[in-house]
Amino acid sequence: MGKNKEAGVDFAKMSTTISRFNPTNYMGTGAPILLDNWHREIENILGVVHCPEEFKVEQDAFYLRDAAGEWLDKVKDSALDIYMKQGKTAILWSEFERAMRQEFVPEHVCSKLRDEFDFFKMTGDMTVIEYYYKFNEKARYGKDMWLN
């Protein structure tokens, strides 16, 4: 890809810098929290290296494996075609993140997670600190989390 002349960013050098952080791969399977944690980790790394918006999706796409990598292969060409027709040269990170969430955390799973949060209560077998951590984990999936 080379250097982005406008931003003065060397894509290859940025890829090398990102890889030094040893980002987690996302496989596209498992609990929704795995996707959330992966997004948070990638966003933190991209922020630290000051990755320009137009490089973010391509940079993190390298860390998608198995079902997630197959999904990206399936959608990236058609998505990029749509963007090019709109005069855009890159898929926005926020839209990519939303598309991943829709693919790997379907609405019925979101609904179940919201219900779990709505009805979550402290039980006698939990310490206050255990409740605190469990509450915060479930709060990730409160109603506002899944609004588009």
Give residue limits of the domains in the chain. 3-105, 107-148
DSSP bridge partners of 3: 10
pLDDT band per the 50, 70, 90 thresholds, residue 44: very high
Tokens of 119: 């009805």
Residue type, 10: D
Look-up: residue for tokens 């003065």? Answer: 8
Q: Which residues contact 140 (CB under 8 A, 6 or more apart)?
A: 33, 36
Mean pLDDT, residues 113-136 taken together: 78
Q: Say if residue 1's pLDDT is above 50.
A: no
pLDDT band per the 50, 70, 90 thresholds, residue 24: very high
Q: Are 132 and 66 in contact (CB under 8 A)?
A: no
How does the average pLDDT of the chain come out, rounded?
81
SS3 for 3? strand
More confident residue, 122 or 36: 36
- pLDDT score of 146: 44
Q: Are 138 and 116 in contact (CB under 8 A)?
A: yes
pLDDT band per the 50, 70, 90 thresholds, residue 47: very high
